[in-house]
Amino acid sequence: MIEQYVLDLQEVDETQVAVVGGKAAHLGGLSRIEGIRVPAGFCVTTAAFRRIMAEAPSIDDRLDQLSRLNPDDREAIRTLSAEIRRTIEGTAIPGDLAAAITQALAQLGEQAAYAVRSSATAEDLPTASFAGQQDTYLNVVGPAAILQHVSRCWASLFTERAVTYRQRNGIDHRTVDMAVIVQQMVFPHAAGILFTADPVTGNRKVATVDASFGLGEALVSGLVNPDVFKVRDGEVIAKAVAAKQRAVHALPAGGTQEVAIDPQRQEQPTLTDAQVVRLVQLGRRIEAHFGRPQDIEWCLVDEDFQIVQSRPITTLFPIPAARDRENHVYVSVGHQQMMTDPMKPLGVSVWQLTAMAPMHEAGGRLFVDVTRRLASPASRAGLLEVAGRGDPLIRDALETVLDRHDFVPTLPDAGPGGPPASGASAPIETDPAIVTELIERSQASIAALRCDIRTKTGPALFDFLLEAFQEHKRVLGDPLSMQAIMAGMEATWWLNDQLQEWLGEKNAADTLTLSAPGNVTSEMGLALLDVADVIRPHPEVVAFLQGVEDDGFLDELPKFAGGTEARHAIEAYLDRYGMRCVGEIDITRPRWRERPTTLVPVILDHVRNFEPGAAKRRFEQGRQAAQRKAQEVLEHLRALPDGEHKANEAKRMIDRVRTFIGYREYPKYGIVSRYFVYKQALLEEAERLVQANVLREKEDIFYLTFQELHDVVRSNQVDDKLIQQRKDAFRSYHALTPPRVLTSDGEVIAGAYRRDDVPTGALIGLPVSAGTIEGRARVILDMAQADLEPGDILVTAHTDPSWTPLFVAIAGLVTEVGGLMTHGAVIAREYGLPAVVGVLDATRLIPDGQRIRVHGSDGYVEILP
């Protein structure tokens, strides 16, 4: 087969990324769109690059060395990547390859000026832009200079930033090839960038144009502040004209130079409004061709726009698919469930099949469409009330949408809708037997599930699971269970509101909920202290656990003195709580039972930081503090006018809180227990598919929806390409920040805290557990990396119940996500930890090891000197 080293841009399109790289493939596609002008040029294909790499001396050894480097070892990456670049630039271009390039050049005009631009195969992809990683050379004149710059472009695949980016994203250096575009230079009056969606808000209906005089290089390199125009529905809706003091122009003999702009022109708009609107129309045509929002580089030459690049905007959060063209408002489920990481497709579909409300997926996250509830004034009030108590940022974002008056239509009230306003749910008597009965019902249902699922395989398993999901929803929606949950929450709200009004006490209920009985999550945290008590007296076991890396360590324990007891203690803990894990609403996440090493660092911290019997003592201290607080509150109330009545009301509510608030955590425990049973059955089915050579590995089922997996089991056939696409998409979703509120226009509505009662420089959040604490911030994003000392304050993105074992070892809590009744807040109150949640960017703004002060009653965090 004769390798093709040069292709005209008009011969290529988006299907040829492997041959010409992402940038050239897009340019080829652009040149085929009617009405879009692209400067003429050709592409030196990836076959030429591979030939140079094969001829470059000792390149293989250096690539091996490079792949072994840590992405954070910048010095080593800098040195080695510079060596590779020198080697590639120093490798002579073979005669036939040089001839193919100069021949293509002769057809366009040898002495014309050209832009020589890198086009890597992993570049300008829908899931990763690699923007600004490889090199572009402008105004290159003459065959010798062109060949030299082609070599430089090949070498730029190994710039320090490109190498680091690939290593951080798990991309093998050998899987990326480099093509080079040689394109006629245009000498524009103005140039810039057009985003067909607003890159800041994500709104797909608003296009943004950045423009400056001369070559676009001035704008890309940050030399000038551009003019910025925003366009919606064919009209300029906003513009900011900057003072443009410099421009970049081409030199006749080659290269570029900065020039000063005439003072009279500096404040003039680069483009007229009519030109901006015409440019956006071209952009919409390009967007329609590629099927997604684009980041487009343009030039204005003789009153005509030429397009020199178009790539997908990879930073936009995707929009949930809708069947109509109406406006929709979506609220994040992950912010309420304390899991804003992306979920794999099987995790998404199982949650959708077992949830009480319809769920929409986008970017690996789940959303609820609240448009109808916002549209009806009656249900709107209830929704805003519950949202405000849970997460004020969500409420503020929803109010921002409503304030626009044109996005959500107002519909007539269609009877009762939405969640009940505080205090409006059906009354329930304060009887601990209710909670006991609910828990027994749930346990019996899970036991039946475990028993019945054992005999089910193949398609029959999936039919059984669909029935099991209905039972799952029935247990979850049990009216008595709902009443018990609401009784505890509403009593908490009542106590906080009334005791503040009557006694001026802030968040009094926080102390009254300390060590509330029957909370399965807080019991789980304390139970790990008991496990540490069993291990602490055995130094050999402690020493062994310090070096554990393999999940089979439990089988090794009996070899050591005290190891059998240690194993029994850990096994008993896993029997009760092993179905839990971080991100447990995603069925595909590894459970503690599957990966018990996750718990080892926490157990070792407990062995080091606590005395024997700490669990009982902690619980008893909390119980007594709550009892004292109740007596004190009732005494103070009795001294008030109408005090006896107030005290009786408060006593009734305190009893309700103590009876029901612990049950708040049980339904989630039930869900996760059922999930583990489903998961084990599905993985056994996956094992059969692997044995039958249908699947490559068991975990591939995580990248299929429940229905797709059902089809695979029925047909014994799988689409490997689909699984690979899903894996690539899932990897790309990690780079996206999920919004609390998102509209069908793609606009991310952030929400804000409207407060002026906090010190300057403090980080604002939601107060969820009273008290003030000072200490060292430990920023921990992965529970398995925890290394805590007494008095540390945990700072993390979000905590679900699986983080509870860490709570017994900390003095305070700060999270980026959370609300008054999310798991972290409930457990922080039970353990008496001052806590502030919903602190935007806390893990970025608070350095690990920094001393901070957490104001759990007032909802802010101070960074101390």
Query: Which residues are catalytic, by number?
Result: 823
Report which of 718, 592, 699 is spatially closest to residue 347, judged by C-alpha positions.
699
H helices within 177-330, ranges in order? 217-220, 263-266, 273-290
Alpha-carbon dihedral of residues 594, 596, 602, 607, nearest 10 degrees?
A: 160
Distance CA 230, CA 209 (A): 6
Q: Is the C-alpha dihedral spanning 386, 387, 392, 395 positive or negative? A: negative
Residue with tokens 């992402």: 22
Pairing of strands 851-855, 772-779: antiparallel
Residues β-bridged to residue 232: 206, 235
- The contacts of residue 787 (CB under 8 Å, 6+ apart) are 601, 605, 778
User: Is the separation of the CB atoms in 466 and 676 below 8 Å?
Assistant: no
Cα Rg for the chain, rounded, in angstroms? 31
Q: Rounded to the nearest 10 degrees, what angle do helices 345-354 and 666-691 cross at?
A: 130
For helices 600-609 and 539-546, the axis angle rounded to 10 degrees is: 140
Specify the 3-state DSSP secondary structure of 685: helix
Neighbour tally for 54: CB within 10 Å: 10
Longest Cα–Cα distance of the chain, Å, equals 102
Give DSSP secondary structure letters for 47-94.
HHHHHHHHHSTTHHHHHHHHHHS-TT-HHHHHHHHHHHHHHHHHSPPP
Contact 783, 802 (CB under 8 A): yes
Q: Single out the residue of 262, 309, 260, 367 nearest to residue 118, CA to CA.
A: 309
Return the residue matching tokens 């679900």.
800
Cβ atoms < 10 Å from Cβ of 470: 12
C-alpha 26/C-alpha 31 separation (Å) is: 9
* Cα–Cα dist 408/271, whole Å: 35
Identity of the amino acid at 169: N
Q: How far is residue 632's CA from residue 638's CA, in Å, rounded to a whole number? A: 10
Residue 616 gets the label, from left (phi > 0), alpha (psi -120 to 50) or beta, of alpha
Strands 360-362 and 206-213, by their bridges, are unpaired
- Residues near 636 by beta carbon (within 8 Å), at least 6 away in sequence: 503
Report yes or no: 206 and 184 within 8 Å, Cβ to Cβ.
Answer: no
Cβ neighbours of residue 497 closer than 8 Å, sequence gap 6 or more: none
d(CA 290, CA 247): 32
- Please check whether residue 141 is in contact with residue 131, taking contact to mean a CB–CB distance below 8 angstroms: no
The amino acid occupying position 751 is G
Q: Please give the structure tokens belonging to residue 693.
A: 């050579």
Backbone φ and ψ for 242, nearest 5 degrees, come out as -95, 160
User: How far is Cα 435 from Cα 481, in angstroms, rounded to an integer?
Assistant: 8
C-beta of residue 662 within 8 angstroms of C-beta of residue 487: no
- Angstrom distances, CA of residue 365 to CA of 285, 398, 477, 497, 738: 30, 19, 23, 34, 7
Residues 593 and 550 sit within 8 Å (Cβ to Cβ): no
User: For residue 684, what is the DSSP state?
Assistant: H
